[in-house]
A and B are shown apart, each in its own frame.
Chain A
Amino acid sequence: MSLGTSSTLVYLIAIPLFSSAFLLLAGRALDRIGHLIGTAASASSFIVALFELNKMLGRDGESRGVTQHLFTWINVGSFQVDATLLLDQLSICFVLLITGVGTLIHIYSISYMSHDIDRRRFFAFLNLFIAAMLLLVLGNSYLNLYVGWEGVGLASYLLIGFWNQKPTYATAAKKAFVANRVGDVGLSLAVMIAFVQFGSVTFEGVAKGIEAGSASSTALNAMGAAILLAAVGKSAQFPLQAWLGDAMAGPTPVSALIHAATMVTAGVYLISRSHFVFDNAPTAQLLVVIVGAITLLFGAVIGMAKDDIKKALAASTMSQIGYMILATGLGPAGYAFAMMHLLTHGFFKAGMFLGAGSVMHGMNDEVDMRKYGALRKVMPITFATFGLGYLAIIGVPPFAGFYSKDKIIETAFNAGGSKGIILGCITLLGAVITAFYMTRVMLMTFFGTKRWDSAAHPHESPWLMTIPMILLSIGSITTGFIFSNGDRLKNFLAPVVDQHHHEHEAELLAPMVVSGLALLAVAIGISIAIAKYGRKTIPASAPTDVTIWTKIARRDLLQDDFNENVFMRPGQSITRVLAYLDKRVVDGAVSGVGAMTLRLAGDLRKTQTGYVRSYALLILLGTVAVLTAILVVTL
């Protein structure tokens, strides 16, 4: 594959970035038009992306990628990093999704955030997010990607915590941050391994290095595992999934943009982008599959137990990304289908989140589905668009999700041997549960009897909110067919992710059979949900006489308890013990407890408990240790 050059890529990022800086620096003066500037910036970026797509389609398949060198960023000794952008078939998919869906969400937010006095700041953060996310997918090296990776982290952090009046919101922001830091460690390790093994951190350099065989399989597996850790943190996969549900505390457009359509799928992008690593690192690839399979069930099970509409959707996002991660772990056959599911999911899940936001907008920000019911009559447009998204996500033909999910299930079955059968069955089981919990959401929200609070007067949202929902629902109807017809997306992406033109493996099951099984799974899921929720009245508060399994599922499969007891508590204890040791024990060892009473200097003294003599003793002990060590090491 040969890469041309371009001089226009930088505008994709520069427009929203400058707009963001402008909105933040201009201050209150721009409060009245800030949202329009932000929206215009995002839309302009989308238009540039369309031009780039047009130019790209004008070139033939093998030479569609273009790069733009901006400047040499770091050059230390033998090691150089350039700030270079790379737009190829893989990144253009993301660029269009980010700017396209991003613009719709900007439009939606104009109305959704109209009562917020800080709307201008909100749009500045949204623009910042768009710029950072574009940098993430346009960087030509792991290091440039890392900058965008941190940038989206920062922006999402700012946006989740945007409504920081409530302490839980700030806690949620912090939790997201911590999980992401764990992931970031993975990414920085991957960058380090790439640099040491290949002397380069560009995707091209690493791919060439692997082809030349300059890395051991251990190194590649380690790099793959590090990349997977990064993806797991960012994409809320098992075992770092806990933050996503809490992140729903942020404003709903943020959930739609960041936690459904774009940022959380960055892990899928990272793995697809690193296909050259995983194709040569079978152990890491197997890990990817396992993580994907666990998460897709994990998220789905949590989704069954949630009464909070946004948390149910968040669990569903987790599960759907599990599908994508699983697909990327299936090798060259899977990348294109992972991307396809990512794109269709971007449409229908963003649409559903906006729908959820619209419902909340009409219901005084109520998120408990037990307080909804029978909303289809009062909110017909929201009902219709949400309903189309629903049909898409559970995989009813001819809606988008059917095509993309069906392909993943098919690829899973064809993975070969018992692995294929197990993965195929997991993906089918996931489809059953997805159909169940999504039907449950539909029934509890839009059907049944009114269970509204007395203060609630649900009404349809204004057109600025409904139009983006309608456009996204059109996407949920059509994109699946468009992408899969004649394997369009697969062929489009092939030069990037499948350069060796892998032949089709032997098929375990014919595509028709898989489709049939998938539809059967959907039918089973829907029927159970209708039997359980459609016929009976739904209690306005969650029943408490439930089985232990339901309780566990309601507690997010104990993910918080697990984190708290396994990571947080011991971490805190270690910190406390170390601080204690640092302050007192050394002292106590010298002077005994009695000396502690010899405090002379009054209250101020309390802030500094360390005595000089104990510090001196520490120095002496350290000296003895250094002396002993140096003699032992050398002699």
Chain B
Amino acid sequence: MNAPNIEYGMLGPILIILGAALIGVLIEAFVSRKYRYVLQVGTSFAAVALAFLQLFLIRHTSSKAAVGSMSIDGAAIVLQGSVLIFGFLGLLLIAERGFQSFTAQAAAIPGSNEEQKALVSGLQQTEVFPLTLFAISGAMLFPAANDLLTLFVSLEVLSLPLYLMAGLSQRRRLLSQEAALKYFLLGAFASAFFLFGSAFIYGQAGSTTFDGIRKSIVESGGSDQFLLVGLALLTVGLLFKVSAAPFHAWTPDVYQGSPTPITAFMAAVTKVAAFGAAIRIYYFAVGGLVWSWRPILIAISIATMAIGTVIAIAQKDVKRVLAYSAIAHSGFLLTGIIALSKDGLNATLIYLFTYGFTTIGTFAILTLVRDSGGEVSDLNRWVGLGKRSPLVAATFTLFLLGLAGIPLTSGFVGKFAIFSAAYKSGNISVVVAGVLASAIAAFFYIRIIVMMYFSDPVEDGTSVVIPSKVTVAAIAICAVATLVMGIYPQPVISAINSLAFFAG
């Protein structure tokens, strides 16, 4: 028996990140505490840069890899590139040491003497860096997987570190640990559906590769119950990850409980990875079943937009508002899948790329508004921020306008691309719902802007801390990207359009 041929060059970007993650584990175990932080940061950024370089070198690749279980094609490369960029921005936020977001010792019981001791002695574990790298590698595998089993493994590689990272918050430990546990339990629940669905599909198609499933649908005509049940369960697993209604319930709790840099990372990277995988499945593997899945996705998309936008209005916590906003954006993104066209693929990738910057920027600003007890996410305490810190408020306003999709921000370009793709494919109902939802959504984004600018600040100890260069860099990159891709998006659009294809 011959050993299978592995295309190391094509898998290079993922392998670099995985390797660096392993090195990170070793650093955490063996290097003296003094040098750990510097080494971890150095390793992480070097790995991301190297991986990006390798990805750039193979950008014109379009073929299956690792015995057909991966598909390294234009779409995968765009998505992996997005993951790396957002991973880099997330790492910048995680590397912030001017103020502390992470618990010193994750294993310590909240409120215990052990924890106190760790805090006082300034002991700070840095296992968050290798965990982030593991999550990035999973997120890069996810949209390139071309086989249900690879997809499942990468889903877990992405999710397991995230479950842990959600529990690392320094302040409000209980809330954070609760979020982590919730995320883990529900994630496991959804994974089970995913796996169950894969089994059903395998039962009918006799193959777990996307090419095999595709072929089997053509041959069988696609009306087999096993296939449909499998598809439905698979859909549940994927929609859980993108937080589409009614599988969204975990999102606000987890977003709120996680340390904010992790929320930022998770919001951008998970969304790219999960939508990347979803679009490959719906477009490539089960494109032949479009008449079965499209009506369901339309209903879910509309429900997701409605729930995300309407409930966001009633929220009083900035992080929860943004969580519901993330849910609404999942609804908008689903319209790109519904379109099932080259335009839809382009638009989804463009949307994901623009959304990631804006959302990371938004959460990054959130880390800056603090009082003695840590971050202040109560909306009522953000009043008058425009008077206290005009620059921070203005940047936050830019991000919110971007999320709202106001013209001249990148959000508008993404929304326009995705809605016109859906409209052209004839799915007018989702577009009408999307336009209406955007209008409602604008209301709660604007409400935050109103609170920041149109009220006087209250003296309650809330202040904006001056961050170190890493956070400033992350915010600046996100702000520039949001603005530039709003005013002159063409280079990005052209690049994505020319790359976005699936290897047949």
Contacts and interface: CB of A to CB of B under 8 A. Distances in A.
A5 interface: no
Interface string B476-501: 00000000000011100110010000
Contact of A77 (B236, B296, B313, B421): B421
Nearest to B181: A612
A146 interface: yes
B236 A623 contact: yes
Contact of A634 (B291, B347, B438, B489): B291
B164 interface: no
A18 B451 CA distance: 27
Given A71-B488, A192-B420, A615-B182, A184 B190 contact: no
Contacts of A579: 311, 314-315
A576 B314 contact: yes
Interface string A57-98: 000000000000001111111110000000000000000000
Contacts of B240: 619
Interface in B176-234: 178-179, 181-182, 185-186, 189-190, 193, 222-223, 225, 228-229, 231-233
A467 interface: no
Interface stretch (B72-80, B117-125, B452-460, B463-471): B452-460
Contacts of B408: 147, 150-151
B234 to A, nearest CB: 10
Interface string A558-585: 0000000000000000111011001000
A589 to B, nearest CB: 13
A612 B182 contact: yes
Interface string B280-322: 0000000001011101100110000001001101110100000
Interface string B150-194: 000000000000000000000010110011011001100110010
A445 to B, nearest CB: 31
B257 interface: yes
A178 interface: yes
A616 interface: yes
B453 A164 contact: yes
Given A621-B246, A631-B228, A74 B236 contact: no
Contacts of A146: 407
B413 interface: yes
Contacts, number: 193
A76 B350 CA distance: 10
Interface in A610-632: 610, 612, 614-616, 618-619, 621-623, 625-627, 629-631
Given A177-B446, A192-B420, A575-B313, A150 B407 contact: yes
A189 B493 contact: no
Interface in A590-626: 601-602, 604-605, 607-608, 610, 612, 614-616, 618-619, 621-623, 625-626
Contacts of A181: 439, 442-443
Contact of B246 (A622, A627, A630, A633): A622
Q: Quick one: which of A72, A165, A188, A626 has the most chain B CB within 10 A?
A: A626
B259 to A, nearest CB: 15
B450 A582 contact: no
Nearest to A171: B454
B235 interface: yes
A75 B490 CA distance: 6
A20 to B, nearest CB: 14
A575 B311 contact: yes
A212 to B, nearest CB: 20
Contacts of B249: 582, 586, 610, 614-615, 618-619
Contact of B417 (A74, A185, A610): A74
A411 B225 CA distance: 67
A184 B412 CA distance: 13
A301 interface: no
A630 B231 contact: yes
A170 interface: yes
Contacts of B60: none
A624 to B, nearest CB: 9
Interface string B431-444: 11001101100110
A77 B497 contact: yes
Q: Quick one: which of B172, B346, B442 has the most chain A CB within 10 A?
A: B442
Given A608-B178, A608-B257, A616 B189 contact: yes
The main secondary structure of chain B at its interface with chain A is helix
Contacts of B182: 612, 615
B357 interface: no
B247 to A, nearest CB: 5
A431 B175 CA distance: 66
A635 B186 contact: no
Contacts of B175: 604, 607-608
Q: Quick one: which of B310, B413, B456 has the most chain A CB within 10 A?
A: B310
Contacts of A604: 172, 174-175
B453 A161 contact: yes
Contacts of A608: 175, 178-179, 253, 256-257
B236 A601 contact: no
B49 interface: no
Interface string B43-59: 00000000000000000
A601 B407 contact: no
A492 interface: no
B402 to A, nearest CB: 13
Given A75-B494, A608-B175, A615 B186 contact: yes
Given A75-B493, A76-B497, A189 B435 contact: yes
Contacts of A161: 450, 453-454
A182 interface: yes
A196 interface: yes
Given A618-B249, A623-B232, A633-B292, A192 B435 contact: yes
B454 A74 contact: no
Contact of B346 (A73, A77, A610, A614): A77
Nearest to A614: B249
A173 interface: yes
A624 B321 CA distance: 29
A296 B434 CA distance: 34
Nearest to B196: A623
Given A196-B423, A629-B299, A630-B228, A622 B443 contact: no
Interface in B382-431: 406-408, 413, 416-417, 419-421, 423-424, 431
Contacts of A75: 490, 493-494
A447 interface: no
Interface string B239-258: 01000011101100100110
B97 interface: no
A575 B296 contact: no
B147 interface: no
B428 to A, nearest CB: 8
Contact of A164 (B235, B246, B406, B454): B454
Given A185-B436, A615-B186, A195 B421 contact: no
A289 B504 CA distance: 56
Nearest to B300: A626
Contacts of B420: 76, 79, 192, 195
A623 B289 CA distance: 18
Given A71-B488, A74-B490, A621-B246, 7 more contacts: A76-B417, A181-B439, A578-B307, A582-B311, A586-B249, A608-B178, A622-B246
Interface of A: 71-79, 143, 146-147, 150-151, 154, 161, 164-165, 167, 169-170, 173-174, 177-178, 181-182, 184-185, 188-189, 192, 195-196, 574-576, 578-579, 582, 586, 601-602, 604-605, 607-608, 610, 612, 614-616, 618-619, 621-623, 625-627, 629-631, 633-635
18 contacts: A75-B490, A75-B493, A75-B494, A77-B342, A170-B454, A174-B454, A608-B178, A608-B179, A610-B253, A612-B182, A615-B250, A618-B249, A619-B240, A623-B232, A627-B232, A627-B233, A631-B229, A634-B223
- The 8 A-B pairs of least Cβ separation, nearest first, read A170-B454, A622-B246, A579-B314, A615-B249, A77-B343, A147-B407, A634-B292, A164-B454
